[in-house]
Structure 1
Amino acid sequence: MTGASTTSAASWLRRFHPRPKDGPRLICFPHAGGSASYYFRMSRVLHLSMEVAAVQYPGRQDRRMEPPVEDITQLADLITRELRDAEPRPTVLFGHSMGAMVAFEVARRLERDGNLPLALFASGRRAPSTVRAASQPMHLRDDAHIVTELRALSGTDNQILEDEQLLAMILPVLRSDYRAVETYEYVPGPLLRCPIVSLVGTDDPQATIAEVQAWAGHTTGGFDLRVFDGGHFYLDTRTDEVAGVIQKRYSAGVS
């Protein structure tokens, strides 16, 4: 299934606060089933020192009538196409879980174009080159299994999980996102030249410390690992702290 490839940048990027005249741009990529609004708090913390824009994938919120994109590389192609037309600014990429994969592929494309990002922040996701033992893909499991997985990851409000109408709305999109993640195949290529900062929760079942450390092998530009208390969605309660890490390194006036 394809997304709306003819949409404008306004259809892909959401800004929740006024952007400063100067400073870098932070592009935020949501997790599977997530939307741009997940980064509202990040924007609130950082918007005085940098432009914060969150990607809105097709199939959710105000783009809910558009079919989801079920291929990570195609999604990266579409987003990169829009970023090429954006106002030139030094750019930092931040992605959580599925978003880290999309951000990585976008970074590869930007560098191929000669637009070196300031950094890639890869949160809650093992390195693309790591491989786990095969298991039944989530996108092929029934709804009950997916709901059980959501409960285990503690990233979805229980009120939503107990509301059949809301579940009927979010499960098809989530299943499409799982399909995109689980059918993604890492293709070796030139290493990134921008630094990579990997972030992970201490109790994340989706990404071990060793798997996250492997991001170091994907760049020649330097690597940093940050570990936070929490699980896969540690970011829910650590947004201010993570924003502080970004701000300290890439706030307005810092190159």
Structure 2
Amino acid sequence: MPTEPVVERTRSAYAALDEAFVKAGLDGHAHFLNWGYEPVPGLADNALPGLVRPGSNETSERLVAELVGPVSLDNLRMADIGCGRGGALDVILRRFHPLSATGLDLSADNIAGARRLLAGRRVRLQVADACAVPLADASQDIVLNLESSGAYPNMGAFLRHVRRVLVPGGLFLHGDLWPAELVDPLIETMEEMGFALESLRDVTRQVCRARDRMPAGLMARLAGSRGAAEVQDYFAAPGSAMYDCLDRGSIAYLLCRWRRGEDRVGSADTAVLQERAARIEELLEEARASLAERSEWFPFGGPRHGADVNILAFPHAVAGASAFKNWQAQFPRDWQVSPVQLPGREGRIAEPPFTTLSAAVEALMPRVRPYRDTPLVLVGWSLGSKIAFELARRLEHNDICQPLLVVAGVCPGPHQPLPDLSSFFGEDGMETRLRLLGGTPENILSSGEMLSALQTTMEGDTAMAASYRSEATIRAPMLALSATRDDLVSQEAVESWRPRTAGGFTHRRLEGGHFMARDDAAAVANVVREAVAARLNQDLRPVEVA
């Protein structure tokens, strides 16, 4: 049988996953394999109240409840094909009283877990292949299939079995991933097979929001011998290629309700359904390449379409993205803080630095443009403030978007030069200067070759600062921050940003020194958080420039 190798690979994968759950001490708690659902403000929900219990499985239970939606399963015959470890059946049997309940799954380990969870319940559980469903014709009123069909070697055969076992007028509740460009062909094929679409919901954002709530360290506990990247994709962990595809919209998570038609239908061409797995793998490969390149610029996590707000942070001269590494913890988890790594520092120390601010912004533009529809905040510190300002100016000038807020920390306005660093450092050598600036690992500070490379970076940053002057005015509002113990930039110099915005200007003076964005991250981040929250209450989306 040609599908046998695929079936065996699937069984093997589930067995390895079961072993991973046992080794991680999660076997007694891992009742669900689905990715979960977390409500997103402004997007409609569909779950019946009282179906979900608070707890560690809450988002997974919520996904089941959203798939069932307003449908009552009381006094009906229902089958969960691809029932996994029994979590969906548990949710259903707590709330409804079906006439009969059946759970089928290819994995013996999954069925064993379902039997433990559902012990004492009136439910039939059986190891079975979804492409050869061992249920009688017209024996079910409801067939449920959640996040399982992607592993089937013959989607057409599965759907024919679904139609066969459903009574005329019966419902097929289906939730799974589809490449965005194959959604319309899916609908056409299903209709040709004799199903009528009653409801289709794209819940990709809600699923991503649930993935954002994954416990820290869970993936490391589950990775084992299968490798972290494979496990992260399987669970769509934030930062994985699968999560990136969902966030960008190239793969959609759909919850569908189909009704079996009563008329007999001829044979339908299901070839397009077989394209799904190959196309998803192609999209994942594209995402992996994109993530590898993006991680160079955003080593602590890049911007996300599904975030409530994206905050790009630009550090002071010579410093790398790690100057802001402690900022994410200071913000709501649905806000994405993305410190920017320019060439010539930390993980990119071997790359030549920019010597003009224009070149830096030109390189950043294509990495920011895709997120124009998500509120954008640009935070700069010292030299980084001028990069943030020029990026904002360019985004507006090129009709891309108007940032929600631009933050300029301890920096003179763009029409003024940065302070002469030699007056601050005196005759100190390169190592001492870098220690004062901070963010440079000790192994680099003790390496003459690395110090030489950073000397080039410092020269590049100095040239970038010296060559940039602007008297432009941006539309975005600005928050300027000065520090009480800053020996480099005065309060008056920071105040000089005021005429550079037509969108409103606020100047806050903070207790600290020139490098407090790194040394007192919580204090600075708190001020930024309050300012962003105030702006979000006024503008829920970034202003599109006409």
Residue type matched to 2:377 in 1? V
Residue-by-residue CA offset, 1:89-120 (whole Å, 9 max, x unaligned): 11000011111111111010011123000111
Q: CA deviation at 1:51?
A: 1.0
SS of 1:120's equivalent? strand
Partners of 2:330 and 2:526 in 1: CA distance: 8
The 1:45/1:16 distance shift into structure 2, 3 A limit, reads farther
SS of 2:520's equivalent? helix
Determine whether 1:202 maps to 2:484: yes
Correspondence for 2:470 among 187, 208, 212: 187
Determine whether 1:233 maps to 2:515: yes
| Structure 1 equivalent of residue 365 of structure 2 | 80
Determine whether 1:163 maps to 2:446: yes
| % identical equivalent positions | 26
Determine whether 1:111 maps to 2:393: no
Q: Structure 1, unaligned stretches of length 5 or more?
A: 1-6
Residue-by-residue CA offset, 1:32-90 (whole Å, 9 max, x unaligned): 11111211101222251411111110122222232111111111111123211346311
Determine whether 1:59 maps to 2:344: yes
Report if aligned partners of 1:58, 1:66 keep a CA contact under 8 Å in 2. Answer: yes
Map 1:172-183 → 2, pairs under 5 A: 172-182=456-466
Q: Structure 2, unaligned stretches of length 5 or more?
A: 1-291, 540-546
Q: CA deviation at 1:128?
A: 1.1
Partners of 1:201 and 1:208 in 2: CA distance: 8
Report if aligned partners of 1:155, 1:233 keep a CA contact under 8 Å in 2. Answer: yes
Query: What TM-score, normalized by structure 2, do the two folds share?
Result: 0.40
| Structure 2 equivalent of residue 247 of structure 1 | 529
Residue-by-residue CA offset, 1:203-252 (whole Å, 9 max, x unaligned): 22321111110100100111111112222112233311221122223249
Report if aligned partners of 1:93, 1:103 keep a CA contact under 8 Å in 2. Answer: yes
Partners of 2:341 and 2:441 in 1: CA distance: 23
Residue type matched to 1:120 in 2? V
Partners of 2:408 and 2:343 in 1: CA distance: 22
Partners of 1:33 and 1:68 in 2: CA distance: 10
Partners of 2:437 and 2:375 in 1: CA distance: 31
Partners of 2:475 and 2:391 in 1: CA distance: 13
Determine whether 1:37 maps to 2:322: yes
The 1:82/1:202 distance shift into structure 2, 3 A limit, reads same
Report if aligned partners of 2:353, 2:456 keep a CA contact under 8 Å in 1. Answer: no
The 1:59/1:223 distance shift into structure 2, 3 A limit, reads same
Partners of 2:509 and 2:342 in 1: CA distance: 27
Determine whether 1:92 maps to 2:92: no
| Structure 2 equivalent of residue 123 of structure 1 | 409
Partners of 2:315 and 2:441 in 1: CA distance: 21
Question: Which structure would you say has the larger RCO, counting Cα contacts within 8 Å and 6 or more residues apart?
Answer: 1
The 1:132/1:120 distance shift into structure 2, 3 A limit, reads closer
Report if aligned partners of 2:355, 2:460 keep a CA contact under 8 Å in 1. Answer: yes
The 1:89/1:46 distance shift into structure 2, 3 A limit, reads same
The structure with more radius of gyration: 2
Determine whether 1:11 maps to 2:293: no
User: What's the C-alpha RMSD, in Å, of the aligned pairs?
Assistant: 3.2
Map 1:18-29 → 2, pairs under 5 A: 21-29=306-314
SS of 1:240's equivalent? helix
